[in-house]
Amino acid sequence: MNGRFVRLAETGRKTFPITVDGVEQMAAEGDTLMVALLTGTRTLRDSEFGDGRRAGFCLMGACQDCWVWTAQGERVRACSTPATPGMSIVTRLAAVEGVWPRA
C-alpha cells in the first residue's frame, strides 16, 4: 500500500515492527507514530465525529487531529508519541468501542 508520507532521507535508520490494526508494518528509529503510520498507509485514524478517516493536521500536537489508541485502549497523539518496537496501535474507532469512550 502506498503511504501518504514518503521517506526521502535517512533511509538507512534501523527499522523495527509495529502492529497497526492487526497488521505488521515497519517503523524506523526516531519516527513518531504519525510518521510510522503514514509511511505505510494513506490515513491515520477514524474521526470520532463520523466524518470519515483523518490524516492529522498540524503535525505538532496542537490540533488534536491525530489521536490513535494502543491495543490496551490508551489514547495517544500520533504526532508526538515515539514509535517503539512491538507497539500495537488501533486506528479504527469500532475496534476501541467499549474500551475508550466517545466524548
The more confidently predicted of residues 72 and 87 is 87
Residue 48 CA to residue 46 CA, distance in Å, equals: 6
Total tally of structural domains belonging to the chain: 1
Domain with 88 in it: what CATH number? 3.10.20.740
Does residue 4 belong to any structural domain of this protein?
Answer: no
Domain span holding position 74: 15-95
Query: Does the pLDDT value for residue 1 go beyond 60?
Result: no
Q: Give the model's pLDDT for residue 92.
A: 81
Does residue 42 belong to any structural domain of this protein?
Answer: yes
Instruction: Note whether 28 and 7 are within 8 A (CB).
Output: yes
- Kindly indicate the confidence band of residue 87, based on its pLDDT and cuts at 50, 70 and 90: very high
Query: Does the pLDDT value for residue 84 go beyond 80?
Result: yes
Does residue 82 belong to any structural domain of this protein?
Answer: yes
Instruction: Note whether 68 and 76 are within 8 A (CB).
Output: yes
Does residue 6 belong to any structural domain of this protein?
Answer: no
Q: How far from the centroid of its chain's Cα atoms is residue 80's Cα?
A: 10
Does residue 28 belong to any structural domain of this protein?
Answer: yes
Give the other-Cβ count within 10 Å of 38's Cβ.
21
Residue 31 CA to residue 35 CA, distance in Å, equals: 6
Q: Give the model's pLDDT for residue 103.
A: 46
Residues 6+ apart with CB under 8 A from 36: 18, 25, 26, 27, 28, 83
Does residue 1 belong to any structural domain of this protein?
Answer: no
Q: Give the model's pLDDT for residue 31.
A: 92
pTM score: 0.77
14-65 pLDDT, tens digit per residue, is 999 999 989 999 999 999 999 998 888 877 887 777 777 777 677 777 777 7
